Homo-oligomer: A and B are copies of this chain.
Amino acid sequence: MLSTTAPRIHLGPNRDPALAWGIEQGGGVLVPLEYADAVVWSQGPDTFPDRLPSSVRWVQLPSAGVEPWISAGIVDERRVWTSAAGVYARNVAEHGVALLLAGVRALAEQVRATSWRKAEFDHRVATLHGATVAIVGCGGIGRAMIPLLTAFGAKVLAVTRSGVPVPGASETVDATRTTEIWSRADHFVLAAPATSETAQLVDAAALAGMKSTAWIVNVARGALIDTDALVRALADGSIGGAALDVTDPEPLPEGHPLWTLPNAIVTPHVANPKTGLTAVLADHVSANVERFAAGQPLLATIDIERGY
């Protein structure tokens, strides 16, 4: 028997299993659109209903950016609309940690190996435990990485514009002190936006300051690294390696040395991939359904004027 107070949610345009789970976890029940108090939508604006019943008081959209929904005139003032702002940061963070672990544990070379090179890799596989990982740029992605890295016993050195201490980081320094970190941290994750200040932040001087075992992970933008200087450092072995989800130039052309350097990993800008997006969204939906049921403010509400 259904609770009479359970929010009635329409899930469209089709019954995505992860989102259905999220709605039920949040205490909602799935209903056809005409009986709905709220709508959870899993696809783009093209298939969105032309008219919503007036009973619909809330709509959850699937994307972090909602400009196409606003410009299509879909988002209205008659109900609350929420986006997935911040939700996908976790997925990018997972990719960043996967890349860092692959680097630190020498998986790039082990994956390419075709014989049992135990004596060699026994001295090459390292650990995140006790390592200091600098996260350059601690917005949603950088912050989402902190609990992952600390679970492995790493310490986080956060670099932010303001220098205001980031929760969970052992230390936070402001961006004017970035040059200090190259020799202090064991590994680096770039998660800062591409701006004139971050352009080629990792240049020849930065690379020269790093430990010979340091791995650099880039899940931000390719422009943050001087690619030619990086290729030289990788070829010289002056750093441990680089694992890049973004490159400069991007897409990385065939024949580029980064494709074949043994201490380089390139993934083609897939840190927030199409598969599993709704699995990632499901928890956000669940939290919002719970808040909706309780009459509490929803997460990631959209402000039409602001455009997000």
Tell me the A residues contacting B by CB distance below 8 Å.
18, 21, 90-91, 94-95, 97-99, 101-102, 104-108, 110-118, 121-131, 147-148, 151-153, 250-254, 259-260, 265-271, 273-276, 279-280, 282-283
Contacts and interface: CB of A to CB of B under 8 A. Distances in A.
Given A151-B147, A251-B118, A259-B114, A129 B265 contact: no
A23 to B, nearest CB: 14
A114 to B, nearest CB: 4
How many copies of the polypeptide does the oligomer hold? 2
B283 A123 contact: no
Contact of A118 (B112, B122, B270, B283): B270
Contacts of A114: 254, 259-260
A268 B105 contact: no
A98 B154 CA distance: 14
Contact of A129 (B91, B97, B107): B91
B129 A280 contact: yes
B117 A268 contact: yes
Nearest to A125: B273
Contacts of A97: 101, 152
B126 A276 contact: yes
A130 B280 contact: yes
Contacts of A253: 116
A105 B95 contact: yes
A27 B218 CA distance: 37
Nearest to A265: B111
Given A98-B104, A107-B107, A148-B151, 9 more contacts: A94-B101, A94-B129, A114-B254, A114-B259, A115-B259, A124-B275, A125-B271, A125-B273, A127-B280
A137 B124 CA distance: 28
A110 B102 CA distance: 12
A110 B245 CA distance: 10
